[in-house]
Structure 1
């Protein structure tokens, strides 16, 4: 019933968007459409040249700076849901990480350096390789282009899901000043200033600085400072750009960006614990190896909490808590530097552009991942297993002389969290791309070369508490011994560290051409492109357990692939164009940093590359004298060797780890639609809807309990991770002139829906996967304000805004700790609101 309701709700949203697109503007047209305002032309560079969005034969969304400001978008994660079939989930222990999902293809939850992202993220043409650094500040962004579907030719590195491209504003030759400041609940302050001094000696420059901070949104009762509570955040960012024109045909532009984000990430909240009941899963008549979770429930029931208030909060439940207990004050600090150099020139018969990028990312974090506060209870050590047993049951088990001592000895205790971790990550990357392009009456073409290098290191100590049912050991001495056990459930402290360095190098050659058989005005265009990519990777590991290795472990792997696309576009009528596209994509394989070495060797195994073939058809329309823009697309993707991130079902006892594996064959099918419409001089709407169905054809992720048996196909029980089947949004915009001047009252009310997401693809190794599936999200945001307020030669604005106005307490991301016996996750921000005042000159 619940699924049917969500399908009905999403279908109703789609029908509503379509009906508005067809009917409402027609009425506006009847009342004088010729004199009415029209939608702005959207120029994008998705094919390495400036084009009208409506002429590009792929599914692409463009979000301009005005909409970014109107929505109060502060970083890349706020873009979730603004384009169909695109969702972005925040990281767990970091303030800058993001999990991007496009058309059902997700980056996965792993932030290790051995795993590449599935959706490419670019800033001014520079590829951002790490999902941990994907939560970019969007200061001074001109527009964001969201390219859905594999971009295996022009944006070729790891773009099987699609690409998101941030394009920043170029420096102005004229003086320009823009400043704003604001305040909101949770003592949130923000300020931003951008200055373009104007061209000096032929060099145009631009400088911007922003600061944001807020208190936490969940109260850690063990932390007296609100500024250190979970959800607290302080960020500073700076951007400087300089551009010089070269004889009217070329230019050189340099961009520097720096940002630092610190604070306490959102609170992990305990939702489920296991009582140790054995699990069994049978697929096609075969019993499979599954994770057996530890009996955490029984241990917590008898544990002693250092703080009585924390004991009351320790009960696991699937409900938002406004108060938690973190005896370790979680924090994360991420600092990013970026350099971007662009040199281009038009030689009349062809153009040349070179883009060079160098980026550095440092990340440090400490995380409490149980939210229980300090607690103590019986500890397990091999030498104390028999402590406290009655002398009568020790007869014949230990020497007679030792019985009085052992029977009178107490079971030791330990103060220990279920899980705590810290992480130190360092990363550098260098990229270089050169492209040569040209055009004529019948042909557009571009050829280029791309080089990329990166090196990253991670030092990740973990401290976990594993609950052991000691009766499983004592029962071997007989039932009477087990029955007399003074402390059946005892905690094993497990200290482990993962330390490694990863290095990758990638190079590619590409080309693409668009041919207009009857000339540019014929309405027919054919595009073909190809790219050959070479990837080399290396992992050097010095520790993966309690102690460092005597001899480091090494993994090496190489991958290569030719990817291509064919596109056909045809204008059916004025303002109505259609297209068909077949494209391939590729994501290189890599290493799961915590995988054990191959038996009898010192070699870390690698996983293989992914390959996708995508079929897409679409229709792009501008109707009613360009008062309506309505674009729709349908797609079918055939995926081979999909790499997924799953917890390890047979990891060493007392540890938690995940593993990347190539699952097999998966098909993705779906549709998406976008709408912009001017209803009247005062009202307009925009909206989008997307649906994706993920069909696992083969998922060789099962391990039979029969020794030596082949891998078992578990496609029938697999689910897509970090994927919302239905996504949608719709918003009403309003503007009304105020008085005789240019000032106007502006407002916007928007609704966004995202279906709940699974965190893992299978319950074999994630016992609570169904229980920690994310909530369906239904968000209402609103803004109202006055802009274009005359202030002499300047303009002012004031805006009151609110996000999540219904104060929905949505569970958005889960973590299943497998055999450690518990699970939990993260809730989205509660209602936030504030006021922003700005001026521009």
Structure 2
């Protein structure tokens, strides 16, 4: 046994050393993207366009080619390209970056790793972002509490859409894969005038057959259909002003939550998980999920006296999830939930940012956010509800936030700069009078009201960084950042629970940005230490989750992202992360202890001590490797590319009793593009070796369950670019 453990550690060490040294690769996280020695990678991590190698922030940049090579068209699969990023998937997607994330599945609980489109905050707890037809994706590691102030204790995932005023383009692709999956993408932009551009982007997926089947409910399982349409208009009335309007519609339909007891534990029907197949669902009620969202923004930019640029960003987002799921996941009628939810928000941001190449650059602004999260209602049925037969919840939470911020960077010496930023946020969470109803055969069901409640909070977040250009190709930096995530109320539950407090995180980071051989080789290491306080911790309940605060945690680690353009034909990339996490103080944890007796399920133990335990979904090691090789063939280019991602064991709860086991996923593609770039064909495969892995393992009172990841998928894609 001792030899096996030593061997496992040795193998992981060799894999990481290989990923980190034998295969040096692209800029901080630019997986499978080309490293062009004549072009710089541009990011907007500081809300202005800057070279990646000049930004004193750990940023992963994923180009369109990177996403295409890994067959990633949605944020729910983004973890395949970004080490240290874990994404769990039930009806909702939860993002964990460097061990910081949100496990709650309540409609009013927003992500700790916030999503943005073109600088506009996007609610994604029950949805995801389409990553098709983009210019790039930026993943900012760590709290970004000054310029991206909305709930960014863990980091930011920002999608940057294409500019309608760029050169006109008309391109598209259509694909077909196993499980009768049809995919398509379209992008076109035209100039209606020299200063007026319009673009339209469409991305769709239709999976005709699921990976599994529920013979109890007689339905297909593990399938997903979605469509995203984006329209964008850019108008430049003068040389000094730009007006941009954007609208996005996103629709998702899938088979909902389909989970299976893990081996060695029993569901409430007493059947051990070892008796289940890989995609074997045995739920009595049908599972389904539907999500519709509408997002729009208006961005107005105007130069002010040639020294600054004034920007106004107004946005509206309406998200409407609907979920049906059998929470006990057995043939018994114990607890079934139907969630009818809605999340709406408006925001207004004003920025004034300096322009020009002066020693001092700055940005100052204000931000207003107003959101309404509603359960309309949550219906619970089954023996769990007792003689009434049905329990119905109506809940809502209104959140209002206002913030002011500034950030400046000053070059105090020829090769040294200091950055300082500060943000003050005032927030109010309101719980209007709510109620739940016991619904049975009685025509006058019992209605039990909850009194209104209110929670006010405020706080300062900041950024302080020092960077120095040691040589023309080596820049070093150190930084101290604080992030803050809003508090709120638990909306699901038969009893009114106290509100939960905001969580805060202090990040201490140091890193290098290094590029050599005219940018053909880039190496970007970073080390970090996190101090996490008032952690919002979620426990699954009937139809949702309850949130409380854990006291303190410490996370430390090391990132290394590298890339090299070996030649005009061959590109290599790799990245890895080492992470160490522990709860310093957590005396009110909830543990779930599986029942070994035939009755199954789990015993819930409250107020347990989790001091010294690892944080959930914080793998100790994770790594990725990718390559792209291009060769001339038949008057065009033949490209062979692939990616591999390794994730270590991940604890799934504060008890540290259960893990989501380690796994390695491999994707590959072989494609040909004509010399004029008008025609292309590509063969692709994901999970090439058909690895049996789980996107999530979770604990609850009804048992310990896994949600299996997709099996091997493969197909062909035809593409065209007319101009």
Q: Same fold (TM over 0.5)?
A: yes
Cα offsets for 1:555-606 (capped at 9, x unmatched):
21011001111100001112111000011111122112236767xxxxx521
Structure ranking higher in helix proportion: 1
Q: Does 1:53 align with 2:52?
A: yes
TM-score normalised over the length of structure 1: 0.77
Q: Does 1:526 align with 2:526?
A: no
**CA 38–175 in structure 1, closer or farther in 2 if over 3 Å, else same:** closer
What is the deviation of 1:201? 6.9
**CA 565–201 in structure 1, closer or farther in 2 if over 3 Å, else same:** closer
User: Which residue, 530, 545, 549 being the options, matches 1:662?
Assistant: 549
Q: Does 1:339 align with 2:296?
A: yes
Cα offsets for 1:192-221 (capped at 9, x unmatched):
222213233742101122321112111233
**CA 672–703 in structure 1, closer or farther in 2 if over 3 Å, else same:** closer
SS for the counterpart of 1:15 is helix
What is the deviation of 1:494? 6.4
What is the deviation of 1:725? 2.2
Residue 186 of structure 2 is matched in structure 1 by 193
Residue 246 of structure 2 is matched in structure 1 by 255
SS for the counterpart of 1:642 is strand
Gaps of 5+ in 2: 27-34, 440-445, 592-605
1:754·1:777 contact (CA, 8 Å) conserved in 2? yes
User: Which residue, 699, 711, 715 being the options, matches 1:830?
Assistant: 711
What is the deviation of 1:170? 1.2
SS for the counterpart of 1:139 is coil
SS for the counterpart of 2:464 is strand
Measure the CA separation in 2 of the matches of 1:597 and 1:315.
Answer: 32
**CA 782–541 in structure 1, closer or farther in 2 if over 3 Å, else same:** farther
**CA 145–3 in structure 1, closer or farther in 2 if over 3 Å, else same:** farther
- Indicate the structure (1 or 2) with the bigger Cα radius of gyration: 1
What is the deviation of 1:5? 5.2
Aligned length: 689
Q: Does 1:783 align with 2:669?
A: yes
**CA 7–99 in structure 1, closer or farther in 2 if over 3 Å, else same:** farther
User: Which residue, 409, 412, 431 being the options, matches 2:347?
Assistant: 431
Measure the CA separation in 2 of the matches of 1:173 and 1:663.
Answer: 49
SS for the counterpart of 1:199 is strand
Measure the CA separation in 2 of the matches of 1:721 and 1:39.
Answer: 42
Residue 72 of structure 2 is matched in structure 1 by 73
After TM superposition, list the pairs within 5 Å mapping 1:527-676 onto structure 2: 527-540=419-432, 542-544=434-436, 546=438, 549-594=447-492, 604-647=497-540, 658-676=545-563
Measure the CA separation in 1 of the matches of 2:123 and 2:328.
Answer: 30
Residue 93 of structure 2 is matched in structure 1 by 98
What is the deviation of 1:104? 0.6
Cα offsets for 1:332-364 (capped at 9, x unmatched):
111111111111122311111111110111111
What is the deviation of 1:70? 2.4
Cα offsets for 1:502-558 (capped at 9, x unmatched):
11011110000000123xxx2211100100001110123533473664433322101
2:488·2:499 contact (CA, 8 Å) conserved in 1? yes
What is the deviation of 1:98? 1.0
**CA 629–508 in structure 1, closer or farther in 2 if over 3 Å, else same:** same
Cα offsets for 1:25-58 (capped at 9, x unmatched):
xxxxxxxxxxx96274110011011100111001
SS for the counterpart of 1:58 is coil
What is the deviation of 1:703? 9.2
User: Which residue, 657, 660, 669 being the options, matches 1:774?
Assistant: 660
**CA 502–100 in structure 1, closer or farther in 2 if over 3 Å, else same:** same
**CA 788–40 in structure 1, closer or farther in 2 if over 3 Å, else same:** farther
User: Which residue, 196, 218, 230 being the options, matches 2:212?
Assistant: 218
Residue 685 of structure 2 is matched in structure 1 by 802
SS for the counterpart of 2:526 is strand
Residue 358 of structure 1 is matched in structure 2 by 316
Q: Does 1:816 align with 2:699?
A: yes
Measure the CA separation in 2 of the matches of 1:551 and 1:87.
Answer: 39
Measure the CA separation in 2 of the matches of 1:222 and 1:789.
Answer: 54
Residue 380 of structure 2 is matched in structure 1 by 462
SS for the counterpart of 1:16 is helix
Q: Does 1:756 align with 2:649?
A: yes
**CA 545–817 in structure 1, closer or farther in 2 if over 3 Å, else same:** farther
What is the deviation of 1:223? 6.4
Cα offsets for 1:282-316 (capped at 9, x unmatched):
xxxxxxxxxxxxxx66xx46xxxxxxxxxxxx553
After TM superposition, list the pairs within 5 Å mapping 1:122-137 onto structure 2: 122-133=116-127, 135-137=128-130
1:804·1:831 contact (CA, 8 Å) conserved in 2? yes
1:330·1:368 contact (CA, 8 Å) conserved in 2? yes
Residue 232 of structure 2 is matched in structure 1 by 241
Cα offsets for 1:229-284 (capped at 9, x unmatched):
11222222211111111312221010111121112136221336878xxxxxxxxx
**CA 582–645 in structure 1, closer or farther in 2 if over 3 Å, else same:** same
What is the deviation of 1:10? 3.9
Residue 576 of structure 2 is matched in structure 1 by 689
Measure the CA separation in 2 of the matches of 1:230 and 1:122.
Answer: 31
Q: Which moved more, 1:607-616 or 1:1-10?
A: 1-10
2:112·2:151 contact (CA, 8 Å) conserved in 1? yes
**CA 173–166 in structure 1, closer or farther in 2 if over 3 Å, else same:** closer
Residue 169 of structure 2 is matched in structure 1 by 176
Gaps of 5+ in 1: 25-35, 276-295, 302-313, 374-415, 468-490, 599-603, 649-654, 705-710, 763-768
1:152·1:586 contact (CA, 8 Å) conserved in 2? yes
SS for the counterpart of 1:197 is strand
What is the deviation of 1:461? 1.5
2:126·2:291 contact (CA, 8 Å) conserved in 1? no
SS for the counterpart of 1:155 is coil
Measure the CA separation in 2 of the matches of 1:692 and 1:624.
Answer: 31
What is the deviation of 1:624? 2.7
What is the deviation of 1:798? 0.7
2:25·2:575 contact (CA, 8 Å) conserved in 1? no
Measure the CA separation in 1 of the matches of 2:571 and 2:194.
Answer: 44
**CA 597–270 in structure 1, closer or farther in 2 if over 3 Å, else same:** closer
**CA 449–465 in structure 1, closer or farther in 2 if over 3 Å, else same:** same
Measure the CA separation in 1 of the matches of 2:272 and 2:412.
Answer: 70
After TM superposition, list the pairs within 5 Å mapping 1:702-713 onto structure 2: none
Residue 139 of structure 2 is matched in structure 1 by 146
Residue 410 of structure 1 is matched in structure 2 by none
2:510·2:527 contact (CA, 8 Å) conserved in 1? yes
SS for the counterpart of 1:517 is strand
2:433·2:449 contact (CA, 8 Å) conserved in 1? no
Q: Which moved more, 1:611-620 or 1:206-215?
A: 206-215
SS for the counterpart of 2:476 is strand
Structure ranking higher in strand proportion: 2
Measure the CA separation in 2 of the matches of 1:420 and 1:597.
Answer: 19
Cα offsets for 1:314-337 (capped at 9, x unmatched):
553286434433443321111111
After TM superposition, list the pairs within 5 Å mapping 1:78-89 onto structure 2: 78-89=77-88
Measure the CA separation in 2 of the matches of 1:662 and 1:585.
Answer: 16
Q: Does 1:722 align with 2:617?
A: yes
1:270·1:370 contact (CA, 8 Å) conserved in 2? no
SS for the counterpart of 2:242 is strand
2:106·2:545 contact (CA, 8 Å) conserved in 1? no
1:260·1:336 contact (CA, 8 Å) conserved in 2? yes
